Structure 1
Amino acid sequence: MDVVDQLGAMREGKMSRRAFTRSLLASGVAIASVPVGARRAMAAAEDQGTYFTWGGYDIPELFQPYNEANGELPNFAVFGGSEEALTKMRGGFVVDVSHPCNSALPRWVKTGLFQSIDTSRLSNWPDVMPELVDLPGNMAEGNDIWMAPFDWGQTSITYRTDLIDLEGEEESWDILWDPKYKGKLGSLGAGADAWWIGAIKAGVPFDQLDTPEAFEKIAAVMREQRPLIRTYTDDNTTLEQALSSGEMVASMTWNSSAVQLQAEGVPVKFAKPKEGALTWVCGLMVHKDAPKLDKAYEIIDSLISVESGKFLIGDYGYGHSNKKAFDEFDEETLTGLGLSKNPIEILQAGHFQIPQTQEWETKMNEMFEQIKAGF
């Protein structure tokens, strides 16, 4: 199949964006970043809804029910971090459904840009795990909710087991601060992950983040790490390729990177740091001016379906909000993925993000960008 055929297959939903990208790279074809506006224009027909999401979720495998009902995929717009997404929507970018995480939820609600979700319009809602719905700031008036939970998981370290020798020591966040790996370490590029990891490294409890002392401690460890990092990026594929080639020996990643690399035969492991991993729940919110409200509910219903859950668990290694999706896997498989049918077991085993104020978020992002720039 040549590049033109592959592009057609991707647009028709027969080939995932991830598979398409890997195929091009294997053929020596360079990939250029496409602006959000261009992505939207190139996507599905104008009568479809628009889903604003993280890179890697704009794939056909998560939209089988939607595709079957509409004959096409939704439009996709991609962001690198939730603060970037919120800034664009505050600036007038209107979508149908967006994909924040629990730490951003109260701030997103406070903007007034979103409408509560009428769960009676979702056929899969009865199978959504209630533990994932019960998040700070998620209940709206009339027993509706602001965010329908979709995926949950961890941020930890994916490392090459053949290139890092722990010498009998426990796995630790110290790997990403080890001078002997200078220039061979990677990190997610958004403060929404990296700054919180810095807090774990600095020993700052999440309920004490918003103090001058906490900022100083976290900034100090992030500055200590800066000379060691080869790449800061929110493009998972970039991190995975560098780990696969051996260009990097370890990187901060989400669950999916380790699962993808293991499936390709790359000797990696998703660490269980002795200090604890970062844990999170992400979900789906409806814009108050959603142009295609009916399609918005179809997008959400597709994402919380068993079909999408089976893919998300099996191929990405993330937890899913539909409890029936876990019935597709035996306990041994789930344990191997670091998952459980009881999400609280996983979420409470790590450090669960606590929502912060917009002022804190702005200050944190400004500080982290300065540190990444070498200041």
Structure 2
Amino acid sequence: MKTEHDTITTPVTADILRGHLDVEATAHGLLPHRLPARARRQIPDDQLAVAEAQPSGVRLVFRTRATTIELDTLPTKRIYRGFPAPADGVYDLLVDGRLAAQATVAGGNVRMITDMVTQSSELSEGPARTARFTGLPAGDKDVEIWLPHTEITELIALRTDAPVERAPDSGRRVWLHHGSSISHGSNATHPTATWPALAAALGGVELVNMGFGGGALLDPFTARAMRDTPADLISVKVGINIVNSDVMRLRAFAPAVHGFLDTLREGHPATPLLLVSAILCPVQEDTPGPLAPDFDGGTLRFRATGDPAERAAGRLTLNVIRDELARVVHQRAVDDPNLYYLDGRDLYGEGDYAEFPLPDEVHPDPAGHRRIGENFARLAFGDGRPFANVTG
């Protein structure tokens, strides 16, 4: 008979995962996905295929008395040729909602990006390793292990020194959010420090993060996935990827937004729905894309390559998009009283840029993520705001 001091292996199954939309059985274990299989079959590029498989916001959730927990995983890390390898992704372990321990996993597969523009890559296979957490508080507790937000992570085995049981439902509202690499967590140092994770903690909600690096492009398959995902609150943050990839002109943009919202409303007809524009990004405020990487001085920065004069011909900038989003929400207000608009510059604007500049001119640093998360919590979850928890 096993005692609490024996090592117990618990299968990693979908019922102890949260924040995912699908799981895939692999040769090694279980791979969480943030888009369902039907949507994944429609993805047109490798960048989005990689981004949706990076488990931003995905976590294991269980109840246990264990003081030592081990999680065997096979990570796939992304490295850009010619640049130093980034630090290993961080696993955040929370006990009863508070960050209690962190771990990293070295090794694993390496995806070498050989061209930043085309995102072409080469894959080198590596070994599985273990994230180990020791010295955890004794006694019954709810444990969450948030997976690295920028590493594809195949889950192999969970080992503990006490039995594991499924955690009861938290009873918290579910917030479904879609956005770009900033929502995905670019430049955040660990998974519970992305701005959506910070805002979710402050708002007391369960996060399902569909922020995809480079992938907030009003794709119909993303709208259908959100339509079919249970949620109490929904937000869509759109603008920066459409401008910096230069995929659309003004004539097509507003109808695409309407179509995206129409699809969401098929599954969530009265759910509070917040449409959010881009945060301040000076290089794209009035200059069309596409963006191009600039390595001048050995530091990666981005610059807009479009001609501002072409706005008259329908080229999009962030200011043009903000005006259109506000107009779309105003147009729909008669039929959709639960649709709201939030200007992204209220999350991160000129004052924030002066205090926490964008290191690469597009993505906020860790302090910027905290500022955005705090502002979103105040403007979305605060009293009288669209996501306020109204009872009675």
Larger fraction in helix: 1
User: Do they fold alike, i.e. is TM over 0.5?
Assistant: no
Q: TM-score, normalised by structure 1?
A: 0.29
- The structure whose RCO (Cα within 8 Å, separation 6+) is larger is 1
Structure with greater Cα Rg? 2
